[in-house]
């Protein structure tokens, strides 16, 4: 939940204020994970590993991801609407092709093994301690995002969300603001990916399918575009839903009928699509804004 919340916070800002629908946050999530893994895995276990301290590798993961986002964001953000969405989706596909194809660099389909555990002050960060670290960093991302929204730059972003033409006429550098927000969202995703690496100490390309990017978009849609609190709520709700759908998929039969092995994937895609349609139809601002709005109306009554 915490790892998804980090990605969703950045994506919520990107979609809610810059109006950029990105289907490639899963790519930045994977990039951060592989960056942390390749930087920290020892050369004795993997030829292209650098053997850096895991804590240093974790700090470098969001920086490297943000740098890549800054480079690819310049041409990508010239696109709008569906064109941008499909371009970011293509970015995810390209990264998956590299991970699968460059076996000497990434471990390929076999995966990246030999990743050392994250240690701070001689204490291994694992289990409940890893969970605590993740949620502490979620709070950091939350505070950064909230301060951004309330700052002068945040007012510029709100102007862009209302009308790009009006914001530009008022002196807001629309292109620069969008690029910076794109880089920030990628940095959050890279940090989450780095933490994911030290959760499992093993990386496989199967963990970064296209479906994960769609999950992040559904989380933001459920929580509400531009709502930092809603992004966290959406991450919690969708992750719980994913857990129960997986449990449902492990059943061998339903109502006397045998279930195929593809049931978990098909159920997730179908349910995500249904949730997305229902939210867009009945709660276009997201569940949390709709709930708080209902409470305000009830209070006035």
**Domain locations in the chain?**
2-300
Query: Band of the pLDDT at 272, cuts 50, 70, 90?
Result: confident
Determine the Cα–Cα distance for residues 227 and 234; give it in Å rounded to an integer: 10
Sign (positive or negative) of CA dihedral 156, 158, 159, 163? positive
What's the pLDDT at 92?
Answer: 92
How far is residue 141 CA from its own chain's centroid? 12
Determine the Cα–Cα distance for residues 216 and 110; give it in Å rounded to an integer: 26
Extract the tokens encoding 73: 């964001």
Reported CATH class of domain 2-300: mainly alpha
Q: pTM here?
A: 0.88
User: Which has the closest alpha carbon to 149: 78, 231, 64?
Assistant: 231
Mean predicted confidence (pLDDT) in 157-180:
84
Q: Is 120 helix (H, G, I), strand (E, B) or coil?
A: strand
What's the pLDDT at 20?
Answer: 82
What's the pLDDT at 171?
Answer: 84
pLDDT over 90 at 277, yes or no: no
- H or E element in which residue 269 lies: helix 263-282
Residues 70 and 183 sit within 8 Å (Cβ to Cβ) = yes
pLDDT over 90 at 70, yes or no: yes
21-32: pLDDT as tens digits: 888 899 999 999
Determine the Cα–Cα distance for residues 122 and 106; give it in Å rounded to an integer: 28
The residues facing 253 across adjacent strands are 258
236-266: pLDDT as tens digits: 988 988 888 777 666 666 656 666 666 666 7
Extract the tokens encoding 169: 């006429």
116: left (phi over 0), alpha (psi -120 to 50) or beta: beta
212-244: pLDDT as tens digits: 998 898 899 888 888 888 899 999 988 988 888
How far is residue 60 CA from its own chain's centroid? 17
């Amino acid at each position: 939940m915490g790892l998804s919340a980090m990605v969703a916070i950045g994506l919520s800002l990107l979609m809610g204020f810059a109006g950029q629908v990105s289907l490639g946050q899963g790519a930045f999530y994977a990039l951060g994970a592989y960056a942390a893994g390749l930087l920290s895995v020892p050369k004795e276990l993997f030829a292209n590993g650098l053997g850096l301290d895991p804590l240093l590798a974790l700090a470098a993961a969001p920086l490297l991801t943000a740098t890549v986002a800054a480079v690819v964001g310049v041409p990508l953000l010239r696109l709008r609407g569906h064109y941008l969405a499909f371009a970011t989706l293509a970015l995810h596909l390209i990264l998956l092709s590299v991970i699968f194809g460059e076996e000497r660099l990434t471990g390929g389909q076999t995966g990246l093994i030999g990743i050392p555990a994250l240690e701070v002050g001689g204490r291994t960060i694992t289990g409940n301690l890893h969970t605590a670290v993740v949620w502490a960093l979620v709070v950091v991302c939350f505070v950064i995002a909230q301060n951004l929204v309330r700052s002068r730059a945040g007012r510029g972003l709100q102007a862009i969300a209302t009308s790009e033409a009006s914001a530009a006429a008022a002196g807001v550098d629309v292109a620069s603001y969008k690029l910076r927000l794109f880089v920030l969202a990628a940095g959050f995703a890279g940090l989450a990916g780095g933490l994911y690496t030290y959760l499992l100490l093993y990386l496989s390309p199967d963990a970064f399918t296209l479906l994960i990017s769609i999950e992040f978009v559904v989380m933001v849609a459920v929580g509400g575009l531009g709502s930092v609190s809603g992004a966290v709520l959406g991450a919690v709700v969708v992750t719980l839903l994913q857990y129960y759908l997986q449990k449902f998929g492990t059943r061998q039969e339903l109502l006397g009928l045998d279930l195929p092995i593809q049931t978990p994937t098909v159920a997730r895609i179908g349910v995500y699509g249904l949730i997305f349609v229902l939210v867009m139809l009945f709660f276009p601002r997201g569940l949390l804004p709709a709930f708080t709005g209902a409470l305000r109306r009830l209070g006035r009554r």
